[in-house]
Amino acid sequence: MSLKQLIHKCINNETKAQSELYQLYSSKLFSICLKYSRNYAEAEDNLQDAFVTIFNKISQYKHKGSFEGWLKRITINTALQRYRNQGVFEIIDESKIEVVEVTIDDDFDISIDFLLQIIQELPDRYRLVFNLYVMDGYSHKDIADMLKITTGTSKSNLARARMILIEKIEAYKASLNSQSL
């Protein structure tokens, strides 16, 4: 069955087609949910909510652009919806933003599991901006629009997220060095 046929059957609420669509895309979309969630259980909830939205709005997909890209946008927006209007973000004066350059020793290997763990441990506002900017390539203007914050707040939250991640990586490196002594 072609993707177009699968989408058409999902529009007609055919559960077998919905199940097939879920099987095709759930693992990719779950990895997105993990990036934007505090933990595994919250990621599962976000995935479930994203698929409910996908099935409710699938008739709005116009076969222009990537279907997978459309699914990813819905998934990201679903995860972000949990944080909108919760007062997660504080507005920052752009004139007080300090630019932080981040460098990590290229010879040091960090496991993807450790990296995901420390990203998930970031406070919500930092984790969301970090993932949107670094992992998904959104601009600060786009992030500001998505999260209903200023571009300055986005920039500040990104800088703070980077500083926290560097501190955690440096602490991790130090603990490994002390164990090898």
Residue 48 and residue 45: Cα distance in Å, rounded? 5
From the CB of residue 53, how many other CB atoms can be counted at a distance below 10 Å? 16
HEC states along 43-108?
Answer: HHHHHHHHHHHHHHHHHHCCCCCCHHHHHHHHHHHHHHHCCCCCCCCCCCCHHHCCCCCCCCCCCC
Residue 135 and residue 129: Cα distance in Å, rounded? 10
pTM above 0.85, yes or no: no
Closest of 94, 97, 84 to residue 124, by C-alpha: 84
Closest of 104, 85, 91 to residue 163, by C-alpha: 104
Please give the chain's pLDDT, 181 residues, in tens: 899 999 999 999 999 999 999 999 999 999 999 988 888 999 999 999 999 999 999 999 988 889 999 999 999 999 888 776 555 554 444 444 444 444 445 555 788 888 888 999 999 989 999 999 998 999 999 999 998 899 999 999 999 999 999 999 999 888 887 776 6
Closest of 7, 130, 39 to residue 47, by C-alpha: 39
